[in-house]
Chains A and B, each alone.
Chain A
Amino acid sequence: MTATCSNGTLNECGGNVSINANYSDPDDPTTAVAGSGLDEVNYSESSGVCTGSKTGLNGTPSYSLPDAEPNPCVVTNDGSGVSRTITAYGYDIAGNGYSIVPITYQFIGPWYKLKNTSFHKYNVLSNYIPSTVNAFDGTDTTDRYLVIGNAGVVTSDTTIDLNGAQATTSDWNKENSTRTVTFTRDSFLSYVQSKKNYTTISDSGAADMDDLNGAIDENGIYIWGGTNLDFSSVPAALNTKEVIIIVNGTATISVANFNPAESVAIVAESMVFSNATTNANGIFYGDTVSFGTGNNPLKITGNVNSAATTNAPGRERTDDRFMPSLFIVFNTEIFIDLLPYLSNTSYSWTQLQ
């Protein structure tokens, strides 16, 4: 009885696990001897995908099981990230029992990575970074850190578990560190309405992107007059204007490649990336954020912020589980471009006399 992983090791399997249910009588593997040879063999795998048993073997010296099912039996990688066990036992015709040392294996679950940023995880920071890391693309590295590049401090409301990986190259981190949220979508909207210039875009009932293109004619802050806004394409206006768009309800990026030529920030009550989206450039803020599900990897260049705990990475790539399913690359330039809009002011009074 043996088990192998098609990509990686059994402890960190990025592929599928094959169970080779081949048995030999441990007393005499080659000769059928009275009182010896296999009588019964069994195995089970804890997920229940592969199991098998056979009795009445009448002393055969070796046997491959299951015989009515594939051998090897293949357990398809489900990205569960949990440890599973294969056990096997049997008896020879003399009644001697035997068992193999249980074989454990673990599929790599989906994980995420960041670059050039500071990071805070609400609730628990649990992100299984495999022992071997493959780069997401040319902007990534094979460094086994949660945040690569010019990384800041990584904090978590509670604990940090990266499967033994460092948070950053300097491993700056702090557990049990809560963040005081200053701006929600509501409070930022209120601030904008009282302190900054803005334009309201009417939802005419036509295609949302047409409404945006018709209204955005200069750099600035725009408030979507409808409730939800679906970016089913990249509005042409975002290729010529630097804007912030505030959405009362859900802002959805449903286009596969959201890559406006100019800097853009979207502030919404709920920020959603559809399963079809694989690339998004901008600053994306939501009181809640969803990265979707499905198997497409997602790269965000700019930043992502949520006011509440988020299921990251949400989606699960299956092409190469040693690559992150979600890669967030901080882009300073967007913040500089949008500074007149994505900002606030502090005041302090002092009585001198």
Chain B
Amino acid sequence: MKYQKGQVLLLVIMLLATILTVTTAITFKSTTETQITKLEEDSQKALAAAEAAIEYVLKTGVSIATLDGLGVEAGITGSATVEGTLEVPTEFITSNISQGNQYTFYLSEPASDYTSFLSSYNGQSIRVCFNNSQGLELTLIKSDNTLVRYAINPTDATVITNGTAGSAAAGSCDFTVGGETVSFNNKYELSGVDVGNDNLFLVIRSISTSGKVGLKGGADFPLQGKRITARATTITGVTKSIELFQSYLQIPADFFVTSL
């Protein structure tokens, strides 16, 4: 009889221990989930606040805007700033260029109304970086309205019949974007003599496949547009930082390439 009572006590203790463990685990998980939910919520608030600051800068044209008075949640601090240079002044990566379309890269700084241009990138080389399978047509537009064109093939394919072959980038087409490295497989060098003087634009058209194109210069490039960085921090210390790049005016291929 004594032996049976001992067994029951043991079982009860084990049962209580199990219940205690499960309860503790549930409580911990619930607390953690609440904390994570709060963290995500604060992240989204910070992100939204940063976006609001950028939108305000775009809309008003100011060069700096703080979050005060923008209607964001109380306690969130931060600002948006129009940057005066490219992230790396001698580097630029275009937005994605779809097949048959183009990107207008500025070699002269335009006036605010685009009625005049300040010639700024003269006699310096440009390394054009691009990926496999992407054939490019490059058009240098000069201030006297003349054109110089190039047709470039990647190393892995002859995309453009009779085009000029690019070469392997071999590490010379690595770019820094937001602290991370972006790499391209192929390159084509426009020498300083090729580029010459009195340039307005370099129009880059993708003949095949979509993709971005990277450019490295022998000197600082013109701004290429408006780069706005914004940073917002919540009262709990969650910080979000974003960047918007608004390009200078682009000439659509739909009007530039004769199409019939």
Taking Cβ atoms with an 8 Å cutoff, the residues of A that contact B are: 114, 116-122, 150-153, 155, 170-174, 177-183, 188, 265, 283, 285, 289, 303-307, 309-310, 312, 328, 330-333, 335-336, 339-340, 342-353
Q: Is B132 an interface residue (CB 8 A)?
A: no
Contact B160 A173 (CB under 8 A): yes
| Alpha-carbon separation in the docked complex, A289 to B255 (Å) | 13
**Contact among B249, B250, B259 for A120, CB-based, below 8 A:** B259
Residues of B within 8 A of A330 (CB): 258
Contact A178 B160 (CB under 8 A): no
**Contact among B95, B145, B243, B257 for A346, CB-based, below 8 A:** B95
Contact B246 A285 (CB under 8 A): no
Residues of B within 8 A of A121 (CB): 259-260
| Alpha-carbon separation in the docked complex, A344 to B229 (Å) | 22
Contact A345 B247 (CB under 8 A): yes
Q: Is B240 an interface residue (CB 8 A)?
A: yes
Contact A349 B243 (CB under 8 A): yes
Residues of A within 8 A of B148 (CB): 150
The proximity string for B residues 130-145 relative to A, scoring 1 for CB distances below 8 Å and 0 otherwise, is 0000010101010001
Known contacts A350-B178, A353-B240; is-contact A310 B260 (Cβ 8 Å): yes
Known: A173-B162, A353-B240. 15 other contacts (CB 8 A): A114-B258, A118-B149, A119-B260, A152-B139, A153-B137, A153-B160, A172-B151, A289-B260, A305-B258, A309-B260, A335-B251, A339-B249, A340-B249, A348-B245, A350-B242
**Separation in Å of the B259 CB from the closest CB of chain A?**
5
For chain B, residues 172 to 212, give those with C-beta under 8 angstroms from any C-beta of chain A.
177-179, 200, 205, 207-208
Sampled A-B contacts (28; CB under 8 Å) = A118-B137, A152-B257, A153-B160, A153-B163, A153-B205, A171-B161, A174-B160, A179-B257, A182-B101, A183-B254, A188-B254, A283-B255, A289-B260, A304-B260, A305-B259, A330-B258, A332-B141, A335-B256, A346-B247, A347-B245, A347-B246, A347-B247, A349-B242, A350-B244, A351-B178, A352-B179, A352-B241, A353-B239
| Alpha-carbon separation in the docked complex, A335 to B260 (Å) | 19
Residues of B within 8 A of A170 (CB): 151, 162
Contact A285 B208 (CB under 8 A): no
| Alpha-carbon separation in the docked complex, A235 to B239 (Å) | 58
Q: Is B4 an interface residue (CB 8 A)?
A: no
Known contacts A349-B242, A350-B177; is-contact A120 B252 (Cβ 8 Å): no
| Alpha-carbon separation in the docked complex, A116 to B149 (Å) | 10
Nearest CB in chain A to that of B179: its residue? A352
**Contact among B239, B247, B260 for A122, CB-based, below 8 A:** B260
**Separation in Å of the B256 CB from the closest CB of chain A?**
7
Residues of A within 8 A of B146 (CB): 150, 332
Residues of B within 8 A of A305 (CB): 254-255, 257-259
Residues of A within 8 A of B244 (CB): 347-350
Q: Is B123 an interface residue (CB 8 A)?
A: no
Interface size class on chain B is 35 or more
Residues of B within 8 A of A153 (CB): 137, 151, 160, 163, 205, 207
The proximity string for B residues 99-134 relative to A, scoring 1 for CB distances below 8 Å and 0 otherwise, is 111010000000001110000000000000000000
Most buried by B among A118, A335, A342: A118
**Contact among B149, B207, B250 for A177, CB-based, below 8 A:** B207
**Separation in Å of the B195 CB from the closest CB of chain A?**
16
| Alpha-carbon separation in the docked complex, A88 to B98 (Å) | 58
Contact B100 A120 (CB under 8 A): yes
Contact A122 B258 (CB under 8 A): no
**Separation in Å of the B2 CB from the closest CB of chain A?**
68
Q: Is B147 an interface residue (CB 8 A)?
A: yes
**Contact among A118, A173, A347, A351 for B257, CB-based, below 8 A:** A118
Nearest CB in chain B to that of A153: its residue? B137
Contact B259 A306 (CB under 8 A): yes
Residues of B within 8 A of A119 (CB): 257-260
**Separation in Å of the A104 CB from the closest CB of chain B?**
31
Nearest CB in chain A to that of B242: its residue? A351
Nearest CB in chain B to that of A305: its residue? B259
Contact B101 A180 (CB under 8 A): yes
For chain B, residues 76 to 91, give those with C-beta under 8 angstroms from any C-beta of chain A.
none
Nearest CB in chain A to that of B206: its residue? A180
Residues of B within 8 A of A328 (CB): 258
Nearest CB in chain A to that of B147: its residue? A150
Q: Is B64 an interface residue (CB 8 A)?
A: no
Most buried by A among B200, B231, B246, B249: B249
Q: Is B253 an interface residue (CB 8 A)?
A: yes
**Contact among A152, A171, A347 for B162, CB-based, below 8 A:** A171
Q: Is B159 an interface residue (CB 8 A)?
A: yes
Contact A348 B95 (CB under 8 A): yes
Closest 5 CB pairs of A and B: A179-B100, A353-B241, A343-B249, A310-B260, A332-B145
